[in-house]
Amino acid sequence: MPAPPCASCHASRAALRRPRSGQALCGACFCAAFEAEVLHTVLAGRLLPPGAVVAVGASGGKDSTVLAHVLRALTPRLGISLQLVAVDEGIGGYRDAALAAVRRQAARWELPLTVVAYEDLFGGWTMDAVARSTAGSGRSRSCCTFCGVLRRRALEEGARRVGATHIVTGHNADDMAETVLMNFLRGDAGRLARGGGLGSPGEGGALPRCRPLQFASQKEVVLYAHFRRLDYFSEECVYAPEAFRGHARDLLKRLEAARPSAVLDLVHSAERLALAPAARPPRPGACSRCGALASRALCQACALLDGLNRGRPRLAIGKGRRGW
Amino acid sequence: DCFKAFYVHKFRAMLGKNRLIFPGEKVLLAWSGGPSSSSMVWQVLEGLSQDSAKRLRFVPGVIFVDEGAAFGKSLEERSKTLAEVKPILQATGLPWHVVALEEVFSLPPSVLRCSAQEPAGSEGAYKAAVDSFLQQQHVLGAGGGPGPTQGKEQPPQPRLDPQSLARPPAAAQTEALSQLFCSVRTLTAKEELLQTLRTHLILHMARAHGYSKVMTGDSCTRLAIKLMTNLALGRGAFLAWDTGFSDERHGDVVVVRPMRDHTLKEVAFYNRLFSVPSVFTPAVDTKAPEKASIHRLMEAFILRLQTQFPSTVSTVYRTSEKLVKAPRDGPAASDSSPCCLLCMCALDVDAADSATAFGAQTSSRLSQMQSPTPLTETRTPLGPCCSPGVGRVQGCGQGACRREDPQACIEEQLCYSCRVNMKDLPSLDLLPPYMLAEAQLRTQRAWVLQEIQDCLIEDSDDEAGQS
């Protein structure tokens, strides 16, 4: 059976069906629609004002590749300039391959690339070393806790080095949905109160962060990368199977099968959560050691590193027993 | 013994801590036949028969909703279930009602209107009410023995509700109901619709017989599952109402959940140890495969996660306690903000083109109507005349347009998750007439309001104008 004509240009044959609306589109129209939607998100949310220097967190994976590509296509329209910042967490067999992909992309797009390594920033600690250090504690390793906190610090640091005014990351709608599910399952009221919006406006001296791909589902990101023939690194992190997020991801896949709009419904729910004032995190101050944004005396990165350095890696994970 | 004391204490503490049920108040117990609600009814009965210091001081009644028609049960099966249900209801000694779900077709549209809210009782009001009640008891002769003393003060309630039992539901209504449910495409939407209809029916019965509170037997486990399910359905804004202790969105009738602290395991143990009678009634999702609906998926997921991380249910429960019923624009807007037609919560949808999940969905629908140029301006909404808006029928100035697109006009009056559910209903005409009538009425009111907007005087923000 021949493919139906494209629903928007009516000229070429449709090559795909959009997962959300079931509309049949040809490759070019789909990519155009995708870009238009990202532009709409950025403009309607006033995320990137003209003249901004935008640091793109590039990991070499599909989300950041698509993000960088779309933003690059939109730079004349938005009046911004792009910088690629890649973070090297020191995960052998995974991150080095990904970084090679990032370097290729930077060369192809002619965008300046800065690589920030955990080893340099955090006193010689790579993720592999962290994993070894937390391995013997009996419970699960919680590598993702360390990696996530340290990566955000590293991104911030890298962005400052290149003089950026905004940080963008490639989180898509599926990521947001998984996050809200995870936060509920773990009872993380503080994160629930903070998340769900369009990114943080950058309080207390931290750079404003946003996620232009926030309303694009993962399938659409993959489709876009396919039709634009983008080269990206597609393997899973070595430590991913241990993560709690895996449960949330599994649930999300099933929910999406039961109801295709479940992902956006979850994002909508996350936007509208109303938490008690007592549950919200306190106004952030500055870390006493490194001066970064922190809601307690030490920022989480410093606290985690402290624990690692003292040989007590779980020091800053979970609720402090002595009420610190 | 210790277990019983602990169990009963939890129940009484939940009621006592929240101080919502005033002495002498009429409370309707929604009994589905299942273990949690049976346990709740049992607790209430025990509480009524204790010595006067600790006796529960409200006046209960029990209601059972026969939902057999919604999933194609024949009349014989339904009467068999009813035959099991009746003796239990009679044994409670409380005024009981049995209603069939078909009666939704004879509900008046007033069910969907939030009645004026009674001013929330402060701490002082509750204490004063209790004191005056005790005084009254004392004056009337506190020597009266245990038993429904309150019954003497009111005209005797009919023990039987002849209307809803003697006459079996009209065949036409049964047919209409089964048609409605058969036309729904997904199990998720069916379950949601069933819940909505059941709530409206119970609400109507409560109002008709003068009950001001309704107690439902949702247990901790069920509420945790319900919370996560509602999150996935897009009801993040209303979680506090859906899973909190009290739910006052209907105005005069408040839904209360006293079993919120009891896990299903505890309920099961209690029912077994103390032989609490319950009736198994198959529900719309009995024996459905796990992937069939979002409700089933969530239930399976949470119960499975619970085996691995035993604190899952209690963590979700504790998080739900931190949710508040925040009106979006502050208390000033609560009177005039439009409510959803079906679930009666304040509408949670913004303008169509905003940078939110809702905005992303509506703008992607509109983008299909334009020829794509890669870097277009933010689009001007072309779409149908009734563009989705916050209850205000902006494009519907012309009466002709209104009649052309009734589906869109109804959709506008729904909250986000009700809209998603209605997408699974191919035709909105099969809905019970009270919903359609109310939708029509609201559309007309909004149109009229727009016409006379210039002449209306509203409260202005600055105080200077009012001396």
In angstroms, rounded to a whole number, what is the distance separating the alpha carbons of residues A224 and B246?
Answer: 47
Q: Report the mean per-residue pLDDT for chain A.
A: 81
Is pLDDT at B161 greater than 70 in this prediction?
no
Model confidence at B214, pLDDT cuts 50, 70, 90, reads very high
Lowest mean pLDDT among A95-99, A285-289, B64-68, B75-79: A285-289
Contact yes or no for A189/A275 (Cβ under 8 A): yes
**How many residue contacts between A and B have a Cβ separation below 8 Å?**
166
- Higher-scoring residue by pLDDT: B9, A233: B9
Asked if A67 and A168 count as a contact pair (C-beta separation under 8 A), the reply is: yes
A-chain CB neighbours of B228 within 8 Å are 181, 184-185
Over residues A35-60, the mean pLDDT reads: 87
Q: Which of A30-44, A222-236, B304-318, B446-460 has the lowest mean pLDDT?
A: B446-460
Q: B28: which strand partners?
A: B61, B214
Contact B360 A272 (CB under 8 A): no
B378 → closest Cβ in A40, A259, A274: A40
B239 within 8 A of B323, measured Cβ to Cβ: yes
What is the DSSP secondary structure assignment for residue A5, as one 8-state letter? B
Q: How confident is the model at residue B392 (pLDDT cuts 50, 70, 90)?
A: very low
B266 closest CA partner among B1, B2, B3, B447:
B3
**Which residues of B fall within a CB distance of 8 Å from A186?**
315
Give residue-wise pLDDT tens across range A183-224.
888 888 877 877 766 777 766 677 888 888 888 888 889 999
Q: Do A269 and B234 touch (CB under 8 A)?
A: yes
In the prediction, which pLDDT does B379 show? 36
Long-range pairs for A102-111 at CB < 8 Å and ≥24 separation?
A102/A58, A102/A59, A102/A60, A104/A231, A105/A58, A105/A60, A105/A65, A105/A68, A105/A231, A105/A232, A106/A58, A108/A231, A109/A68, A109/A69, A109/A72, A111/A68, A111/A72, A111/A82, A111/A83, A111/A84
Asked if A139 has any chain B CB less than 8 Å from its own CB, the reply is: no
At residue A324, does pLDDT exceed 60? no
In the predicted model, is pLDDT for residue B131 greater than 80? Answer: no
Which is higher by pLDDT, A194 or B414?
A: B414
List the single residue in B with minimal CA-CA distance to A270. B236
Give A 9-38 residues with CB within 8 A of chain B.
9, 18, 20-21, 23, 28-29, 31-33, 35-37
B152-173: average pLDDT:
51
Provide the pLDDT for residue B216. 92
- Phi, psi torsion values for B12, nearest 5 degrees: -65, -35
Integer CA distances (angstroms), B90 to A141, A258, B93, B183, in order: 58, 42, 6, 37
CATH of A28-277, one of 3.30.930.10, 3.40.50.620, 3.40.50.2300, 2.40.30.10: 3.40.50.620
Residue A57 in marked binding region: yes
Q: How far is CA B37 from the centre of its chain?
A: 15
pLDDT at A264 over 70: yes
The answer as to CATH 3.40.50.620 being correct for domain B1-115+166-322 is: yes
pLDDT for the residue B378: 36
Instruction: Give residue B222's pLDDT.
Output: 92
pLDDT value for B227: 92
Cα separation, A244 vs B40, in Å, equals: 36
What is the pLDDT at residue A131?
77
Note the Cα B390 to chain centre separation in Å: 22
* d(C-alpha A198, C-alpha A211), whole Å: 7
Kindly list the residues from chain B whose CB atom is less than 8 angstroms away from the CB atom of residue A279: 322
Residues 6+ apart with CB under 8 A from B399: B447
Mean pLDDT score, A263-274? 86
A185 contacts in chain B (CB < 8 Å): 228, 305, 312, 315-316
Verify whether the Cβ–Cβ distance A198 to B355 is below 8 Å.
Answer: yes
Residue B204 scores a pLDDT above 80: yes
Average model confidence (pLDDT) across chain B: 76
pLDDT band at residue A246 under the 50/70/90 scheme:
confident
Element (H, E) at B100: strand B96-100
Task: Output Rg (C-alpha) for chain B, integer angstroms.
Answer: 24
Q: Which of A37-41, A228-232, B345-349, B434-438 has the lowest mean pLDDT?
A: B345-349
Provide the shortest C-alpha distance from residue A138 to chain B (in Å). 16
Q: Is residue A170 marked as binding?
A: yes
Give me the DSSP letters along A138-197. SS---HHHHHHHHHHHHHHHHHHHTT-SEEE----HHHHHHHHHHHHHTT-HHHHHH-SS
CB B411 within 8 A of CB B419: yes
**Predicted pLDDT at B182:** 87
Q: How confident is the model at residue A12 (pLDDT cuts 50, 70, 90)?
A: confident
Give chain A's largest Cα–Cα span: 68
8 Å CB contact between A30 and A16: yes
What ipTM does this complex have? 0.84
What pLDDT does residue A14 have? 82
Tell me the nearest-neighbour CA distance from B288 into chain A, angstroms: 13
Q: Is the pLDDT of residue B390 over 50?
A: no
- Name the strand (E) or helix (H) holding A303: helix A300-309
Give me the pLDDT at residue A155, please: 87
Is A269 within 8 Å of B231 when comparing Cβ atoms?
yes
Distance CA A228, CA B414 (A): 39
Identity (one letter) of the amino acid at B126? Y
> Can you tell me the distance from the alpha carbon of B40 to that of A239, in angstroms, rounded to the nearest whole number?
47
What are B62's strand-pairing partners?
A: B29, B96
DSSP labels for B16-78?
Answer: HHHT-S-TT-EEEEE--SSHHHHHHHHHHHHHHTS-TTT---SEEEEEEEE-GGGGT--HHHH
Q: Is pLDDT above 60 for B118?
A: no
| Secondary structure (DSSP) of B240-304 | HHHHSSEE-TTSSSEEE-GGGG--HHHHHHHHHHTT--------TTTT--TTS-HHHHHHHHHHH
Closest in A186, A258, A279 to B297, CB measured: A258
Best residue in A249, A259, A263 for a mutation probing chain B (most B CBs within 10 Å) = A259
Question: What one-letter code names the amino acid at A146?
Answer: F
Residue-level pLDDT at B336: 58
pLDDT at B397 over 50: no
**What integer is the mean pLDDT of B275-283?**
83
Q: Specify the long-range contacts of residues A245-248, CB closer than 8 Å, at least 24 apart.
A: A245/A144, A245/A178, A245/A182, A247/A182, A247/A185, A247/B301, A247/B305, A248/A178, A248/A179, A248/A181, A248/A182, A248/A185
Beta-carbon separation of A270 and B376 below 8 A? no
- Beta strand A113-117 with A81-88 is parallel
pLDDT grade, residue B141 (50/70/90)? low
- Would you call A274 an interface residue with chain B, using a CB distance cutoff of 8 Å? yes
- How far apart (Å, rounded) are the C-alpha atoms in residues B239 and B344? 13
A184 neighbourhood in chain B, CB within 8 Å: 227-228, 231, 316, 319
Selected residue of B356, B358, B363, B371 to mutate for chain A interface (largest A Cβ count, 10 A):
B356
The stretch B155-163 carries a mean pLDDT of 42
Rounded distance, CA B382 to CA A191, Å? 38
* Opening angle at CA B192, ends B189 and B196, nearest 5: 135
Q: Which of A268, A271, A275 to probe the B interface (max B CBs under 10 A)?
A: A268
pLDDT of residue B381: 35
A113-117 β-sheet, strand order: A113-117, A81-88, A53-57, A166-168, A209-210
- CB nearest B236 (choices: A37, A45, A270): A270
Find out whether A6 and A13 touch, Cβ atoms under 8 Å. Answer: yes
3-class state of residue A294 by DSSP: strand
**Across B112-122, average pLDDT:** 61
Residue A256 above 70 pLDDT? yes
CB contact under 8 A, B318 and A187: yes
Per-residue pLDDT at A139: 59
- Residue in A9, A265, A273, A275 to test binding to B, most B beta-carbons within 10 Å: A265
Provide, rounded to the nearest whole percent, the portion of chain A with pLDDT above 70: 90
Domain residue limits, chain B: 1-115+166-322
Six-digit token string for B60: 């209960």
CB contact under 8 A, A273 and B359: no
The pLDDT value given to residue B332: 39
Backbone angles phi, psi at B19, to 5 degrees: 50, 45
**Selection from A109, A5, A92 nearest residue A58 by Cα:** A109
Strand pairing category for A166-168 and A53-57:
parallel
Could you tell me how many residues make up chain B? 467
CA distance B160 to B96: 7
Assess A187–B contact: CB distance below 8 Å, yes or no.
yes
Report the chain B residue with the minimal C-alpha distance to residue A75. Answer: B375
Strand ranges inside chain A, DSSP E: 16-17, 24-25, 53-57, 81-88, 113-117, 166-168, 209-210, 285-286, 293-294
Of B236, B355, B361, the CB nearest to A273: B236
